[in-house]
Amino acid sequence: TEHGLWGGRFQSGPAEAMAALSLSTHFDWRLARYDIAGSRAHARVLHRADLLTDAELSGMLAALDVLEADVVSGAFTPVVADEDVHTALERGLIERAGTELGGKLRAGRSRNDQVATLFRMWLRDAARQVAGGVLDVAAALTDQARRHADAVMPGRTHLQHAQPVLLAHHLLAHTQSLLRDVERLRDWDKRAAVSPYGSGALAGSSLGLDPAAVAEELGFDGPVENSIDGTASRDFAAEIAFALAMLSVNLSRVAEEVIIWTTAEFGYATLDDAWATGSSIMPQKKNPDVAELTRGKSGRLIGNLTGLLATLKAQPLAYNRDLQEDKEPLFDSVEQLSLLLPAIAGMVGTLTFHTDRLAALAPAGFTLATDIAEWLVRQGVPFRVAHEAAGGCVRAAEARGVGLEDLTDEEFAAVDPALIPAVREVLTVEGSIASRDGYGGTAPPRVAEQRSRVERRIEEH
């Protein structure tokens, strides 16, 4: 008909500005192949309900095959009069199957249950792809940890030198959060894997169609339990928008460290040429643009989440056209991550660490002060007294402009008589790191065990 899917009760077509506002094919065309998969499944349940003959079913499936090939090749594309991807594809089907047969497919379904189903399908595939990209970043971090199994660095809190740690332990801390991001996406899928197809506009279908058969054909665990919920709910979209925003925030923390580590002041690491950019005016510059775009885009992904939540807030059940605004933020979050993740994996995997400098800085800023206090505790000194004594050592060393290990026996004894020369055994970075050998600590054997557990998790995913 002249007015797409709903011309019957109208005497005129939509105003130009109305149609322009309504149009969504410039973004929902991404759903085209999922729409066709849904149409195949729908044709089969119509057939099983005796609403299509055997011949009609095979004619319908053949026309859908041709339509899909034409969509893939670009021979069939939406036109301005097609309000959305569903309208365009029905026109395409009718052009290929004829008005009589093509016009039968719409029985018992609505764009409301269609779009809710297709969006879930698209997101489930996207989540798997994003997870794959995250695993590549996790593997790059873990590989750096393996290549630098013994390297030490100053661990920081408040960005101030705190206690020495293994570089591998620090890198694996990032891997841990990224693996949680992957697991969050897998966990999301359990809730997303229900099919709204068969919910119709909101009330379900009167045509004896089997939503479970459609769900199974489309790779879902089953159909939704409530047709109103099936068409109205978008918490599956908000939930994955959160998982993606959280992922981008975790990536931004890796990025921020790369930015800091590659400054002249830190000098912890150097970026590979392939993953850095130059300046148009300053010939010496090597800029961490991958890391900065990662940091910047995390703001965008947070915006996509909060924008979607604001769209959903207080919408009455069931479908409202507001819900058409659900797709662009998610398409954008996934698109940004698909650009970012390979670049971050490349940047991290090719980073050169300056382990000598990291080692030289590891004890700086009196990072072994805690070790003095804990050594005293092992001698039976109450921690409150031990903390005070270790602080006294810092004061003495700072006054003389030397490290803790440079204090003389007399200086130690003057701070506290319990500080006998044997305290020196903990005043090395290696000794300090080796002593933190509880589960999850930075001692080399614990970090090696952690790394093999992490490697197994990466492989299993």
Which residues contribute to the site for ligand ARG (CB under 6 A)?
24, 28, 84, 111-112, 115, 319, 321, 323-324
Of 22, 58, 279, 338, catalytic: 279
Helices 111-147 and 32-48 pack at an angle, to 10 degrees, of 130
Does the annotation count 279 as an active-site position?
yes
Main-chain phi, psi angles of 146, to 5 degrees: -65, -40
Q: Which SS3 state, helix, strand or coil, does residue 160 take?
A: strand
Closer to ligand ARG by CB, 226 or 324: give it: 324
**Helix (H) / strand (E) containing 53:** none
Assess contact for 223 and 194: CB atoms under 8 A.
yes
Burial class of 112 by CB neighbour count within 10 A (0 to 12, 13 to 18, 19+): buried
Residues 6+ apart with CB under 8 A from 135: 182, 458, 461
The sign of the torsion formed by the CA atoms of 66, 71, 75, 76 equals positive
Closer to ligand ARG by CB, 36 or 458: give it: 36
Beta strands 194-195 and 222-223 are: parallel
Does the annotation count 435 as an active-site position?
no
Which residue do the tokens 């801390």 mark?
173
| Residue from 383, 364, 367, 384 nearest 375 by CA | 383
| Phi-psi map region of 82: left, alpha, beta (phi>0 left; psi -120 to 50 alpha) | beta
Question: Measured from the CB of residue 335, what is the shortest distance to ligand ARG in angstroms?
Answer: 18
Closer to ligand ARG by CB, 210 or 328: give it: 328
Main-chain phi, psi angles of 153, to 5 degrees: -155, 165
Assess contact for 268 and 358: CB atoms under 8 A.
yes
Closer to ligand ARG by CB, 112 or 250: give it: 112
Closer to ligand ARG by CB, 112 or 163: give it: 112
Residues 6+ apart with CB under 8 A from 151: 166, 167, 168, 353, 355, 358, 359
Closer to ligand ARG by CB, 86 or 446: give it: 86
Question: Measured from the CB of residue 76, what is the shortest distance to ligand ARG in angstroms?
Answer: 18
Distance separating alpha carbons of residues 235 and 399, to the nearest angstrom: 60
Of 12, 158, 206, 280, catalytic: 158
Distance separating alpha carbons of residues 20 and 149, to the nearest angstrom: 59
Point out the residues that are catalytic. 158, 279
